[in-house]
Structure 1
Amino acid sequence: MPHALQHAVSRLRTARLARSSKPFLARGGPRGERCAGCRLLPSHCLCALRPVLPTRAGVCLIMADIEPLKPSNTGWLIADVVADTFAFGWARTAVEPELLALLADPQWQPYLVFPGEFVAPERVVTDLLPASPPDGQLAKRPLFVLLDATWPEARKMFRKSPYLNALPVLSLQSEQLSRYRLRRSQRETHFCTSEVAALCLELAGEPLAAQTLEAYLDVFTTHYLQAKQQQPVDSEDAVHRRLRGLGSAADAAANETPAQP
């Protein structure tokens, strides 16, 4: 099975489909017409363009009920790019033990990413906490906890998830406007989930991963919209060239060897 089919969001989607009493019919094509690896029409498949690069940071997606089923969901893109992506379905009355274990894992420093204007000020941070491990121990890796949902759903999830109350809330301060064109929030300052993850990676000191995720979103959006409009994809346009360039930079960084003394 291709690696792209094994990531956390794909597994959550499979589990959610197994619980459904009727098939989920996505817009944009007849049932069964989408690629299992990227959720696009086979004629516009993205799988061969999936970027691969290491990241120290991790992402934990807590997803509203049908988010894993939506072809336009961008949490899937995060799981494509960031190897340590975890995905859990949200329910008001229960929490998965695996999620609690992840949040308590000593290798991670979790941050709940949410607008600070809706949070008690004492919980809000705008930068990563300083890492000060005891002697002989490694610094904790940042784990960005994202509520993957519409904005009304995300606010409900935030209020009704007491197991998140002890986490510091990372409030992003970026002034850029969202470039996501597949679903529109009522507020231009609201980002889609993969844009939020890219901002978090930048904050964590991983600019190449952040830029790659941004470029991958642009390519995904182009493929999605071209498929919707029944138009071919130009693999030599600016968004594809940018993604390839970042992939080359990632390959070069991975192949670098330390200089000999």
Structure 2
Amino acid sequence: MPHAVSRLRAARLARSVKPFLSRGGFKRERCGNCRLVPSHCMCSLRPSLTTRAGVCLLMADIEPLKPTNTGWLVADVVPDTFAFTWTRTEPDPALLALLSDPQWQPYVVFPGQYVAPERVVRAVQPPDGPGGDGKRPLFILLDATWTEARKMFRRSPYLDQFPVLSLEPEKASQYKLRRSGRDDHFCTSEVAALCMNLAGERVAAHTLEAYLAVFTHHYLHAKNQQPVTWEGVAHQRLREVSLLQPGS
């Protein structure tokens, strides 16, 4: 069944007046589910998890079309992933309904230095922990380039009522599929993993990390016309993580 990012991509393609051509990507036929060429398809590796925490992806216009987008991986791993195209003047009514749903406690994930200190939090209240109110954490991720994300953050007044979760990563980004001029920038999948860890979703956090490494391996090997190393470190790590899942 298509997940939220897949559906958003299909809707975006339906509105396109010309084909989307990714810069630097390979121009061959791609799997409609994992976006890789059929010889490097990784659909059989898609995890199956259950989480209390959810993710809401606010995506820049063409982000769902990019084959290197890792919001797609988040939707593969976290069952309650919601995806919306960001617009400044007309936010999707379904987005506003989600943000007002009483089962969720939304957190806008963004660096704390860009917001008033009183809005900044650095921890997540577990819904069933001591002092918890039963609300499930919903992490709002701005899936865009850094320039776009700053604009989205400033121009989304409907997010102003929510706390801003400022992350403090202990290691550098491992993302290799796009260039960034800053060492403290993380891809969307890495940010989601950090959020899941804060929410006590350790298996989901480890799965996102391992799944990103596998996707990176498949993507780069397809781009360089090299076969997949199915018994390599990345795949072995994903298999090990799968054993942590309940019922495995």
TM-score (norm 2): 0.95
Structure 1 runs not aligned, ≥5 long: 256-261
- Supply the distance in 2 between the matched residues of 1:175 and 1:211 (Cα, whole angstroms): 15
> 2:21 aligned with 1:28, yes or no?
no
The partner residue of 2:183 within 178, 185, 188 is: 188
2:118 is the counterpart of 1:125: no
SS where residue 221 of structure 1 aligns?
helix
User: Match for 1:176 among 171, 177, 181?
Assistant: 171
Alpha-carbon distance between aligned partners in 1 of 2:26 and 2:113, rounded to the nearest angstrom: 40
- Can you list the C-alpha shifts for 1:102-132, whole angstroms capped at 9, x where unaligned? 0000000000000001111011000114759
Cα distance 1:129–1:248, how it changes in 2: closer, same or farther (>3 A)? closer
Work out the number of aligned pairs and report it: 245
* 3-state SS, counterpart of residue 150 of structure 2: helix
Instruction: Determine if the alignment matches structure 1 residue 87 to structure 2 residue 83.
Output: yes
What is the DSSP-based 3-state SS (H/G/I as helix, E as strand, rest coil) of the residue aligned with 2:123? coil
For residues 179 and 199 of structure 2, the distance between their equivalents in structure 1, rounded to whole angstroms, comes to 27
Conserved? CA contact 2:126–2:137, under 8 Å: no
- Partners of 1:105 and 1:43 lie apart in 2 by 42
After superposition, where does 1:77-116 map in structure 2 within 5 Å? 77-116=73-112
Kept after mapping to 1: 8 A contact 2:127/2:133: no
Supply the AA of the counterpart residue of 1:254.
Answer: G
Query: Which secondary structure does the structure 1 equivalent of 2:180 belong to?
Result: coil
Pairwise CA RMSD: 1.6
Superposition deviation, residue 249 in structure 1: 2.1
Asked whether the equivalents of residues 178 and 190 of structure 1 are also in contact (C-alpha less than 8 Å), the reply is yes
CA shift digits 1:210-253 (9 cap, x unpaired): 00110000000000000111100110001100101111221xx2
Report the CA distance shift for 1:131/1:34 in structure 2 as closer, same or farther (over 3 A). closer
Cα offsets for 1:7-41 (capped at 9, x unmatched): 0000000000011111112353336x010010011
Q: Separation in 2 of the partners of 1:16 and 1:127?
A: 35
- How far residue 81 of structure 1 moved from its aligned partner, in angstroms, is 0.4
Q: Using the aligned pairs only, state the percent identity.
A: 68
Per-residue CA deviations over 1:50-99 (Å, capped at 9, x if unaligned) read 11111110000000000000000000000000000000001122100000
2: CA distance between counterparts of 1:125 and 1:138? Answer: 17
Question: Matches of 1:192 and 1:131 in 2, distance apart?
Answer: 26
After the TM superposition, which parts of structure 1 deviate over 2 Å for at least 4 consecutive aligned residues?
A: 25-31, 129-133
Q: Gapped runs of 5+ residues in structure 2?
A: none
**1:155 correspondence with 2:150:** yes
